[in-house]
Amino acid sequence: MARGFGDLEAVVMDRLWAREGATTVREVFEDLLHDREIAYTTVMSTMDNLHRKGWLSRERQGKAYLYVPSMTRAQYSAQLMRDALDVGGRSDLVLAHFLEQISDDESAALRKVLRRLASRKGAR
């Protein structure tokens, strides 16, 4: 797996979603050390970035920050899907769906094709 900086954001969010409650940078850092060699400052700046982008909320406790995901993974997933499905509304998002929406006309036409297919198979 690639280990770009953006990838680290995904890994950190993954850890935070898996944990219960608020977490310090040190806890995440120690958690990550099991799997990879990584600098404390890298983890700190990654979490700072995630906070700046709105993925993490934080509050100061003593000298350290306590981080907690702003939304659950499920909430973010739902938001992402809403964004993906809003294509062509007022949005500027360009993406190629495997299948676009099927209108009533279209699904009637599709059923017709399938019937034709079925009858052709039956005739063989």
Partner 1 sequence: MSVAVCLLLYGAVVCVVAPRLLPYLTRGGSAPGAAVAVWLIVVATVLASWAAAAAALAVHVARTWNRPDPLALAACLAQVRSAVAGHNGLAMQAGLLVPALVLSAFVVVLAARVGRSLVSARARSRRHAESARIVGRRVAGVDGLVVDAPQKMAYCLGGRPGTVVITSAAVAALQRPHLNAVLAHERAHLAGRHHLLLTATRALAASLPRMRLFTVAHAEVARLLEMCADDTAARRHGTAALLSAILTLAGANPIPATALGATSVGVSARVSRLTDPDTAARRLGARVLLAAFSGVIVAAPLLAVWASTSGFPACGPFTA
Within 13 Å and on the Cβ side, how many CA atoms surround 54?
1
Residue whose CB is less far from partner 1, 26 or 73: 73
Cβ 50 to partner 1 shortest distance, Å: 8
Q: How many residues comprise the chain?
A: 124
Which helix (H) or strand (E) segment holds residue 99: the answer is none
Residue whose CB is less far from partner 1, 62 or 74: 74
Contact call for residues 47 and 56 (beta carbons, < 8 A):
yes
Residues interacting with partner 1, by CB under 8 A? 1, 6-7, 9-10, 13, 55, 73-74, 76-81, 83-103, 106-107, 109-110, 112-114, 117
